[in-house]
Amino acid sequence: MKALLLAVGLSLITVLQAQDPPASGEDTMAMSGKWYLKAMITDRETSWKKPELVTPMTLTVLEGGNLKAETTLLTNGQCKEVELILEKTSEPKKYTTYGGKRVVYIEPTEVKDHYIFYCEGEMQGEQARMAKLVGRDPESNEEALENFREFLRAKGFNQEIFSPKQSDTCPPGTDQEPEV
């Protein structure tokens, strides 16, 4: 019996050591700065309007490892400033937002400076999932896009991937309203 407990205990230690180590402060700091939206997908097309244009997202690391994300979206001729706080959880790469109604996972891809933001939870009163591929530069990267497609297949997405236009600012002549 002691041998069995020892074997199980050692197996658990091995499994725990094989898991990803918790994200360090340096890893979180590396997320700070400007990120370009390369591609996105959601499984709730009917209640969600695709943006016609997006500005780069700015991520800021806050005290305690939380992240602040800021961007502007042009939808239906109106620019909307979006700011959200991603609250760090005890699980590496996992954050919550909107008072815990949404869970956001930030997953690195195999391509340097490219990440997938995967969100699930309540969106406009419905349960939904969304994924975004972001990168440090605005250029398209086929290898990162293929990593994104593989991630989407593994998550069971079958909707079409959308790549919005990029701009550093909202076009003149559009109304701008903040959305926090």
Residue with token string 């002549």? 173
Question: Does residue 6 lie in a domain region?
Answer: no
Model confidence over 30-60: pLDDT tens digits? 789 999 999 999 887 644 577 888 999 999 9
How large is the average pLDDT for residues 118-144?
A: 91
CATH of the domain at 31: 2.40.128.20
pLDDT of residue 176: 53
- Contact (Cβ atoms closer than 8 angstroms) between residue 45 and residue 159: yes
Distance from C-alpha of 143 to C-alpha of 149, rounded to nearest angstrom: 10
Would the annotation count 87 as a binding residue? Answer: no
Tell me the residue range of the domain where 130 lies. 25-166
Question: Does residue 14 lie in a domain region?
Answer: no
Selected residue with higher pLDDT from 67 and 124? 67
Count of structural domains, the chain:
1
Question: What are 166's two structure tokens?
Answer: 């990029």
Distance from C-alpha of 177 to C-alpha of 180, rounded to nearest angstrom: 10
Distance from C-alpha of 33 to C-alpha of 57, rounded to nearest angstrom: 8
Selected residue with higher pLDDT from 9 and 93? 93
Selected residue with higher pLDDT from 39 and 2? 39
Question: Does residue 9 lie in a domain region?
Answer: no
* pTM confidence score: 0.78
Would the annotation count 168 as a binding residue? Answer: no
Would the annotation count 26 as a binding residue? Answer: no
Question: Does residue 173 lie in a domain region?
Answer: no
Would the annotation count 143 as a binding residue? Answer: yes
Q: Are strands 67-75 and 78-88 parallel, antiparallel or unpaired?
A: antiparallel
- Contact (Cβ atoms closer than 8 angstroms) between residue 95 and residue 86: yes
Question: Does residue 59 lie in a domain region?
Answer: yes
Would the annotation count 146 as a binding residue? Answer: yes
For residue 26, pLDDT over 70 is answered with no
